């Protein structure tokens, strides 16, 4: 039986105290809603509809994607009313799964179990037991243990509030039954809202089986209603990622001090020091080492390479046995071949450095092709921008560039050339030989240093 998914994302999120719609607040570098949609899409639904309200245009602009349907809830009259707005966007049959845009860590396995339970005609609901159930609707059962209804906390009696089994709000049911039950919802409650949870009472009255399932992990159903809850969920997410890395054999100096904001894949014997951030897609091959405080975004790092502390690397590819940093910046479009050294306070942008080439100190290499076995001296810069256009520098194999050299692009330095310290190169340098820009040194003996008054 096909499954259709409705994601409720219309809430204003007043407790977030932010102009940003709640479901767009980031968890591990992605909007809360993005996590929910990714999990929903793993179920291969025939339809996936997001119901928006507060800031709906902003949510849609950020999250819109092919195959995603949208519905608007205005005014916002409860969860049952929200699902009603999605019905026109759904197909006529199959099972409907209802999720929430501010519950980002729900697992695909948990949802599959819920959908499977509904496939036989039951109303499948997801519940869990909490030591502190405040704020949640309570699951009311009869003496034989069967679910009879869900009562919202504001409508509950003192005895019902003492119940520790709570409703997560996530449920699955056939489209036909959902249509019928939603049409019969009433808003005679303290909030004057149409509660989706009232379909449980409808199922009881009709003798429909209520299948209860529980999340595989306790934190899967944690929602976000405040910045404090968002921060706690971030730490739970990161500890889960850290434990996965540890299980895979990665050495983490401190599992509590790593942030994975995307996809991180590691080979054998990889080690990661404290306070590192990994964004986008990052791969660390066998034996790679990442020092403290590094930030890597969309980077592939070769085997045996060491990224020394406080280096920032973006959209780059680094070969085997290279040495980067400390305090290096590798910008997008850069490829560093095997055994390259890029040292402290060196910036490389949109450039290629060939095998075993080195730029160890205080240099800028931009829009440059560097050959093999090149040494770039301290303070060297490629002057690649003329105020209107970027120009390219080519440094061929086995070139030695002294300290404090300026290469004014476009320019080519021939194979085996040596450029003396302090030179300003404005035209092509032939292969071999020494190139320098000579200037007479002058001393003015009668000059007086300025003094403070």
HEC string of 211-267 equals EEECCCCHHHHCCCCCHHHHHHHHHHHHHHHHHHHHHCCCEECCCCCEEEEEEEEEC
SS3 197: helix
* The pLDDT of residue 228: 96
- What is the mean predicted confidence (pLDDT) over 292-302? 98
Residues making up the chain, counted from first to last: 453
Answer with the one of 185, 206, 221 that is the final residue of a domain.
221
Give the count of alpha carbons within 13 A of 253, CB side only: 14
301 lies in the same domain as 340? yes
388 lies in the same domain as 351? yes
- What is the mean predicted confidence (pLDDT) over 158-171? 94
- What is the mean predicted confidence (pLDDT) over 377-393? 95
With respect to residue 170, please indicate whether it lies within any of the assigned structural domains.
Answer: yes
Residue 395's domain spans which residues? Answer: 249-435
Alpha carbons 223 and 226: distance in angstroms, whole number:
9
pLDDT digits (tens, 9 = 90+) for 387-398: 899 999 999 999
Is position 361 annotated as part of the catalytic site?
Answer: yes
- What is the mean predicted confidence (pLDDT) over 216-236? 93
Global pTM reads 0.89
Return the number of other C-beta atoms located less than 10 Å from residue 359's C-beta.
27
With respect to residue 308, please indicate whether it lies within any of the assigned structural domains.
Answer: yes
Mean of pLDDT over the chain: 95
With respect to residue 231, please indicate whether it lies within any of the assigned structural domains.
Answer: no
* The pLDDT of residue 11: 86
Q: What is the CATH number of the domain that holds 95?
A: 3.90.550.10
143 lies in the same domain as 205? yes
196 lies in the same domain as 267? no
pLDDT band for 32, please (50, 70, 90 cuts): very high
182 lies in the same domain as 326? no
CB-based contact 316:297 (threshold 8 Å): no
With respect to residue 178, please indicate whether it lies within any of the assigned structural domains.
Answer: yes
With respect to residue 230, please indicate whether it lies within any of the assigned structural domains.
Answer: no
Residue of 214, 355, 361, 391 marked catalytic? 361
What is the CA angle 53-58-62, rounded to 5?
120
With respect to residue 311, please indicate whether it lies within any of the assigned structural domains.
Answer: yes
- What is the mean predicted confidence (pLDDT) over 146-166? 92
DSSP for 305-358, please give it: -EE-TT-EEEEEEE-TT-EE-SS-EE-TTEEE-TT-EEEET-EEES-EE-TT-E
54 lies in the same domain as 175? yes
203 lies in the same domain as 254? no
253 lies in the same domain as 217? no
With respect to residue 172, please indicate whether it lies within any of the assigned structural domains.
Answer: yes
Answer with the one of 204, 221, 238 that is the final residue of a domain.
221
Q: Is the pLDDT of residue 448 over 90?
A: no
Q: What is the CATH number of the domain that holds 262?
A: 2.160.10.10
What are φ and ψ of residue 193, in 5° steps?
Answer: -120, 160
In 12-131, where does DSSP find H-type helix?
A: 32-41, 56-63, 79-86, 108-119
With respect to residue 392, please indicate whether it lies within any of the assigned structural domains.
Answer: yes
Alpha carbons 399 and 206: distance in angstroms, whole number:
84
197 lies in the same domain as 288? no
* The pLDDT of residue 443: 76
285 lies in the same domain as 200? no
Q: Could you give the C-alpha distances from 386 to 127, 256, 350, 389, in angstroms and in order? A: 64, 46, 17, 6
Of the candidates 218, 66, 212, which has an alpha carbon nearest to the alpha carbon of residue 127? 212
What is the CA angle 72-77-83, rounded to 5?
55
Percent of the chain having pLDDT more than 90? 87
- What is the mean predicted confidence (pLDDT) over 394-418? 97
9 lies in the same domain as 131? yes
pLDDT band for 449, please (50, 70, 90 cuts): confident
210 lies in the same domain as 284? no
Of the candidates 352, 353, 350, which has an alpha carbon nearest to the alpha carbon of residue 341? 353
SS3 118: helix
Q: Is the pLDDT of residue 453 over 80?
A: no
pLDDT band for 1, please (50, 70, 90 cuts): low
Number of compact structural domains in the chain: 2
* The pLDDT of residue 218: 83
Return the number of other C-beta atoms located less than 10 Å from residue 350's C-beta.
18
pLDDT digits (tens, 9 = 90+) for 324-374: 999 999 999 999 999 999 999 999 999 999 999 999 999 999 999 999 999
CB-based contact 223:35 (threshold 8 Å): no
């Amino acid at each position: 039986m096909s499954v259709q998914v409705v994601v409720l994302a219309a809430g204003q999120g007043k407790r977030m105290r932010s102009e940003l719609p709640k479901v767009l607040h980031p968890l591990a570098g992605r909007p809360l809603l993005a996590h929910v949609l990714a999990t929903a899409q793993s179920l291969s639904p025939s339809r996936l509809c997001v119901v928006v309200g507060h800031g709906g245009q902003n949510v849609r602009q950020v999250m819109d994607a092919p195959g995603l349907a949208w519905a608007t809830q205005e005014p916002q009259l409860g969860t049952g009313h929200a699902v009603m707005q999605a019905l026109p966007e759904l197909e006529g049959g199959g099972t409907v799964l209802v999720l929430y845009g501010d519950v980002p860590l729900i697992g695909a396995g948990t949802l599959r179990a819920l959908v499977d339970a509904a496939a036989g005609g039951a109303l499948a609901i997801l519940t869990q037991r909490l030591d502190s159930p405040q704020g949640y609707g309570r699951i009311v059962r009869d003496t034989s243990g069967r679910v009879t209804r869900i009562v919202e906390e504001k409508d509950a009696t003192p005895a019902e509030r003492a119940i520790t089994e709570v409703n997560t709000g996530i449920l699955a049911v056939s489209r036909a039954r959902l249509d019928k039950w939603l049409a019969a919802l009433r808003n005679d409650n303290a909030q004057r809202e149409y509660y989706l949870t009232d379909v449980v009472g409808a199922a009881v009255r009709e003798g429909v089986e209520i299948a209860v399932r529980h999340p595989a992990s306790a934190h899967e159903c944690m929602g976000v209603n405040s910045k404090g809850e968002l921060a706690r969920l971030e730490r739970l997410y990161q500890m889960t990622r850290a434990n996965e890395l540890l299980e895979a054999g990665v050495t983490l100096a401190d599992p509590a001090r790593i942030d994975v904001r995307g996809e991180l894949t590691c080979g054998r014997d990889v080690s990661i020091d404290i306070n590192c951030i990994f964004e986008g897609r990052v791969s660390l091959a066998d034996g790679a080492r990442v020092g403290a405080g590094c930030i890597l975004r969309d980077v592939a790092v070769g085997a045996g390479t060491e990224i020394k502390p406080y280096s920032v690397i973006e959209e780059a590819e680094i070969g085997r046995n290279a040495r980067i940093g400390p305090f290096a910046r590798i910008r997008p479009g850069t490829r560093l071949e095997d055994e390259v050294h890029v040292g402290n306070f060196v910036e490389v942008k949109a450039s290629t450095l060939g095998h075993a080439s080195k730029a160890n100190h205080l240099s800028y290499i931009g829009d440059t092709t560097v050959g093999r076995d090149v040494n770039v001296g301290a303070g060297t810069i490629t002057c690649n921008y003329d105020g209107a256009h970027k120009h390219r520098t080519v440094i061929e194999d086995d070139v030695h560039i002294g300290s404090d050299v300026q290469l004014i692009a476009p320019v080519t330095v021939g194979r085996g050339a040596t450029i003396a310290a302090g030179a300003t190169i404005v035209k092509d340098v032939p292969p071999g030989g020494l190139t320098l820009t000579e200037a007479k040194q002058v001393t003015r003996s009668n000059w007086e240093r300025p003094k403070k008054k």
